[in-house]
A and B are shown apart, each in its own frame.
Chain A
Amino acid sequence: MGQYLLSTYAVEGEVPGAPRGPEEMKAFMERVVALEDEMEATGTFLFGGALHDPDAATVLRSSEGDVVMTDGPFVEAKEHIAGFYIINADDLDAALAWGRKVVDAIQHPIEVRPFRATGRVQA
């Protein structure tokens, strides 16, 4: 069994294909909830959720025995991670099949990347 990160990105704060208006948002949430229920029922879902805007981020780095903080995200880029799932899947084909379902539900691109669990979350 392997684990995979399925992540989606916002470009300059916008998530392409994101729902607009309450109707679209309701349909979007229904699709996402149904998908997560299916992930849960099949033992696929490990963890996941959406991230707040990178403007809310703080960077900490060790410096001369102290830890200093700076405002803002670590990477200065147009694209920032907007949300992710970590799933269990037998192999890349199985992970890609779940990836397709995620794309169908959220209607924007995702990246599928093998995840190496460490410490407590190790399966």
Chain B
Amino acid sequence: MSRTVDVRADAIAVERVFREAYGQAVATLIRLFGDITLAEDGVQDAFVVASDRWRRDGIPPNPAGWIVTTARNRAIDDLRRSARGRDLHEQLGMVAPTSHELGSGEWGEDGPVRDDRLRLMFTCCHPALRPEHRVALTLRLLGGLSVDEVARSFLVSESAMAKRLVRAKYKIKTARIPYRVPDEADLPSRLASVLSVLYLIYNSGLDGPERASLRSEAIRLARALVALMPDEPEAAALLALMLLSESRLPARTVDGALVLLRDQDRTTWDRAMIEEGQAIVRACIRRGRPGPYQLQAAIQAVHCDADSFEVTDWPQIVALYDQLFSVIPTPVVALNRAIAVAEVEGPNAALMTLDAIAPDLDSYHLLHAARGTMLRRLGQRDAAQAAFERAAHLAATDADRRFLAQQIEELAEGGAVMQRPPD
């Protein structure tokens, strides 16, 4: 009697592994062919083959390498056959290896595959592309999301998203946006663009339950970036910032309404994520090259350290906000700093700062929510109610609106002022 090992994989596992390997495979094929659309088509063809073969024979040990080999062979066949291929072939001389190199097997699986993905990140996040195009390209080419998935994440139609992607790829090709890691001199500003795209993807994932997958996608891409650029503390700090934010999400809403940090059930915070995030923050501090993401991650790490709102090291948080404000002196940083100041110097000091930045942030719901909170603590009920109403009018998400409606209701009942006397 012979023992058989069941190597078959189910459809979900195949799709998951394929998506994990997608960005790497597309990135390598773009290097090989110098053409994004050809690379995408090749990988799409490879997926059709994979979903059949992997389910029968099991998932290969190096899925990305398998996809590259399969997609490359398909694309070369395609190139040899089609007129478009012949045109491309002529252009390939400049930007891609020759057909001899393509056929020799030294590209792809064994080549500098890791760098390919990094190159593609810098291409997709090039500052000459508009930010919404950078986000869409990153999710499509590196994240392996379908056009429809990207479209749904940003609440636009599939055809509108398809147009956006076509336009962005046209610009990359026609304007010759390079496919390489920038020089040392340009690296800081170009890396900042990559980081802001990933952070934008993460934050978009906070806007509603239907967009939650954007958060895990952003974390996955940030992990990939950190693996590719282990010496960049700002990249590591962005990952830490996402992990520390993610760790507290279970406590952030109850019954679809936002719960303030003060009232969150801290036992539901994800300890493993907190530990990973805090370890990254500590490693960053040791390097002594602070930057905006490191400071933001450090602030989150201090919050996660505290067992309760009251025992939080508020002076430390205010000091970190002071540093952050000196690097990025924006009204939003001033707003967050003011909220921390309230816990050290009281609501009056915070309110003075909030009133000073109010003209800049008049259309931002969190400014009015923060003012409402301070006014309530000072016992100014009518002014607090007006501020919360203005915040509710401006709020973009259901969770925020529900929270603000609760505040207005409590004020109307007179309960909140009683619960917390003015300090």
Contacts and interface: CB of A to CB of B under 8 A. Distances in A.
Interface of A: 2, 90-93, 96, 112-114
Interface residues of B, number: 9
In this complex, the member of B126, B174, B176 whose beta carbon has the largest number of chain A beta carbons within 10 angstroms is B176
A91 B174 contact: no
Interface string B98-135: 00000000000000000000000000001010000000
Contact of A114 (B126, B175, B178): B175
B118 to A, nearest CB: 16
Contacts of A92: 126, 128, 175-178
Contacts of A112: 175
Nearest to B127: A96
A93 B175 contact: no
A91 B176 contact: yes
Given A2-B176, A92-B177, A114-B174, 4 more contacts: A92-B128, A92-B178, A93-B186, A113-B175
Contacts of B176: 2, 90-92, 114
Interface of B: 126, 128, 174-178, 182, 186
Nearest to B183: A93
B184 to A, nearest CB: 13
Contacts of B182: 93
A92 B182 CA distance: 12
Contacts, number: 21
Nearest to A116: B174
Contacts of A90: 176
A91 B178 contact: yes
Q: What secondary structure prevails in chain A residues at the interface with B?
A: mixed
A91 to B, nearest CB: 4
5 contacts: A90-B176, A92-B176, A93-B186, A96-B128, A114-B176
In this complex, the member of B126, B174, B175, B177 whose beta carbon has the largest number of chain A beta carbons within 10 angstroms is B175
A60 to B, nearest CB: 29
A116 to B, nearest CB: 9
A93 B129 CA distance: 12
A117 to B, nearest CB: 14
Contacts of B186: 93
B181 to A, nearest CB: 11
Contacts of A96: 128
Nearest to B174: A114
In this complex, the member of A90, A93, A112 whose beta carbon has the largest number of chain B beta carbons within 10 angstroms is A93
B182 to A, nearest CB: 7
Contacts of B175: 92, 112-114
A91 B186 CA distance: 15
